[in-house]
Chain A
Amino acid sequence: MEMEVLNLTAVGPAGPAFAAQVGAEAGTNAFSCYQCGKCSAGCPLSYAMDYQPRQIMRLVQLGLKDEALKSSTIWLCASCATCTTRCPREVQIAAVMDTLRAMARREGYPYKERSVAAFHRAFLNGVASGGRAYELGMILGYKLSTFEMFKDIDLGLTWLRQGKLKLLPERIKGSASVRDIFEKVRKLEQEEVARQREGRPAAHEGMEGHS
């Protein structure tokens, strides 16, 4: 962490606006967090994170978007929702992590945990092409993008022998309709990114208030 001074007024109205946006997308109130640390204390992954989940909430509250989106935390969160379950202020921290990951990806932030992001991409590529997860293809795709060629070779071979990994993907009949879902979502996301870049107000997304 750099030790420079953070100028909070330089963040300006973007401060509360960022917290409000994250809250709206995650369906929770990011301002509610009172920094008790119960989330971090219960998080099984926090030992490996650069910012504790509590600190991520703090960064969001202060509008320190870059710090939050460049953190390893958002990628190491395993979505187990222990934090959400125990939060005394009913902040859906796990949903906030989802929101931040999605935001980091669509706004082109560099991934602090490249391998995690690569896994998600490889996994979804499989789903997008055949409609179902294709483990072997996913693992190969992942290995190609991360150059972790020899990792997990043992287990992979064992599973192949046990018949746990299929050599060929299962392709569903409606795979085109699944591909279509990905395509539509991608388009909507591009529109949203453009809208934000141009500072136009959000079309009503119906995302607020879900919880």
Chain B
Amino acid sequence: MKYAYYPGCSLHSTATEYDATTRTVCQTLGVELEEIPDWNCCGATSAHATNHLLSLALPARDLAKAEQMGLDVVAPCAACYNRMAQTIHETKDNEVLRGRVSAVIGADYEGTAKAKSLLEVLAADVGPKVVEAKVQKPLKGLRVAAYYGCLLVRPPAVTGWDDAENPQSMDKLMTALGAETVDWSHKTECCGASLTVSRTDIVLKLTRDILDAAKAAGADALVCACPMCQANLDGRQGAVEKTYKTNYHLPVFYFTQLMSLAFGIEPYKLGFARHSIDPRELLHTKEIA
């Protein structure tokens, strides 16, 4: 199993721990990653909020490179994954549009490479059974709320690999690690990531709603598959608590961090120190790390 690896900008800045643990987990599970050479930013929300053609061209430049590598793309970031999947979806049966995109990026873009999210690769292609077999330190007693957010599973015509209203893939992975998942209401509610800088007030409210729901469902922590979600839920948790006078103290993991932990990787290698809500105390209490 080999993929063209597209880390995306966040994994080189705010989410380097996601990048590192992605590589670790893939290595453990025999998923070979070859980074797309000289990849560019997918443009994310800002591009498609600005110009339709630009929103297709930026991911297409990366996809065209993957085509040359003869590999399908895996992207850990939900937003990058979504933009790539959207580009493939829109150009699939539209030769004219594909031609325009090729002209803009100055390279042939055929639309032959698929794009997958890292979660899909690990949960569907590799599967919980294989994952379970690699577990050395089961995450016993840890109750997590699996948070998928919007871009992993929506819109289903573009994503389609997990249920859009009640996705299960991350829950199954967590169960395979020995953790317990809670059934909760805000699995796929939006955290407002694209407004995090410009309308922080909105993001605080949306984040509060999600944290409230996770806490009410009895979760010890959240687990996610998107650097933006993590930045909001973890990085802004303090501000939420201050604004709304609440107290959550819910660590927010990348699912790959928990996988690495269960695979027996030493906790200090997993970037927990970079979290705003330090998860080490919780892991210690649960006698996991």
Contacts and interface: CB of A to CB of B under 8 A. Distances in A.
Do A and B belong to a common assembly?
A: yes
Contact of A79 (B15, B45, B97, B206): B45
B212 interface: no
Contact of B61 (A158, A164, A181): A181
A158 B276 contact: yes
Contacts of A138: 197
Interface stretch (A13-21, A171-179, A194-202): A171-179
Interface in A156-211: 158-159, 162-166, 170, 172-175, 177-178, 180-182, 184-185, 188-189, 204-207, 209-211
A155 B94 CA distance: 44
A44 B99 contact: no
A139 B103 CA distance: 32
Interface stretch (A33-41, A54-62, A95-103): A95-103
B30 interface: no
Interface in B10-35: 10, 12-16
Contacts of A206: 94-100
Interface residues of B, number: 71
Given A113-B199, A210-B94, A205 B13 contact: no
B105 A78 contact: no
A132 interface: yes
Nearest to B49: A101
Interface of B: 9-10, 12-16, 38-41, 43-55, 57-58, 61, 89-91, 94-100, 103-106, 149-151, 154-157, 164-165, 188-190, 192-195, 197-200, 202, 205-206, 209, 235-236, 239, 273-274, 276
Cβ-closest 9 pairs across A and B: A206-B96, A80-B190, A80-B150, A133-B9, A206-B97, A120-B46, A115-B198, A119-B198, A210-B90
Interface of A: 25, 27, 44-45, 47-48, 76, 78-82, 84-85, 92, 94, 98-99, 101-102, 105-106, 113, 115-116, 118-121, 123-124, 127, 131-133, 135, 138-139, 142, 146, 151-152, 154-155, 158-159, 162-166, 170, 172-175, 177-178, 180-182, 184-185, 188-189, 204-207, 209-211
Given A47-B205, A120-B46, 9 more contacts: A78-B193, A80-B190, A101-B49, A105-B50, A151-B200, A155-B239, A166-B13, A184-B104, A207-B52
